[in-house]
Chains A and B, each alone.
Chain A
């Protein structure tokens, strides 16, 4: 069964006959891309404001208070406008085409990964049977963009940032994937929708984290690896501002620079949602359960709204956790990052997979 929500929507509008099929198709694709862009922008907008407030309150200050009135809600918008107005600078000696393409690659890969993100049982961009696999695959391509940015800047600090990013992401993709295997094994699917479904259970609390003893340690490993993948402190080595000035971001300014930030916040949200879906029940919560009991089906609009609210709240709890860690912990050194990834997290993740497999095998006996 093919899912074409936008195309179906366009066809219900009844386009005139002279419009060719491919034009409709392209419009539908454009609509989808536009919607994802809007969602990412909104997430980033809110996350940046949240980061400012969270860091402010952690640091005994208020954060933005003026722009827009209530708690400086418009600060990010004002900043965005400022960034767009800024001069678009490309340093002399930079590899111009690569310098320009890099932010686009970074941003487009996170757009691609976002496609696999369901927002509720009935609302998603694409019914992806291999959703998590796609998120991991496309998420890993941001590395290329960052490496490209670092190399094209023709600055040694940027190059350091790029090298660190490449080394770090390659090291942490392994434990990230392995740790995800554990809930995948428990839930038995790659699809984010199916995974959420599999955790429905009584009171909406049949979460993967309660299904298998190896899932909790796997979550810890996943979370550490996710921090490293999203370049968040204490793993923000590619941009470590006290060591590498700003790493791969050193030479970027204006709107290109803000693309990297859009990517960072979108990736944070994405990783948090993946954690929520595969470890903490996805759309499922007591509220979802109650709504489903009351309205009978998953496709009822109220249930869908509850699902949407649940996943967004869970996602932002994860984002908040990342911010909390960032503003509390010092940064670790590159060799410690590597040691942790290869020496500790990877074997631990393998052990988790083994335990989970044994547990599943024992369960299947009964």
Chain B
């Protein structure tokens, strides 16, 4: 299925939380490459993300059993939203879907996807420490790559680099 077909199917099953589909510009030829996705994506309401993932996973024509990636992005300092980026993959049907959710920076909370895809667990931990997004109901919300006592969320665009760490100067 190409992106348009996936979107039609999502609308047909009335996927929870589906806001809109984005096809930002004229897709170039390489967009036909099945290994590629993301130029066209669906925007999903972050609060209903779990239901959306569940619908994608359990619908037999979508069959998105594999959560490939879950990450976030901070588009700009003055942007008021984070993006949460999810890549889904169907092993049987051989198609991909990119999902984007907008999270307000002042209240970056969304439910965890761990219950639907266990693989999301570590990705969410990474997201949480790098961007300060809280995944509600996460079973193990510790830092994963950063030390436990790290201050700040390094991947934010407004992050200020520390000048020292435990007395070690890093200027």
> Quick check: do A and B touch in the complex, using CB within 8 A?
no
- Residues of chain B at the chain A interface (Cβ within 8 Å): none
User: Using a CB–CB distance below 8 Å, which chain A residues touch chain B?
Assistant: none
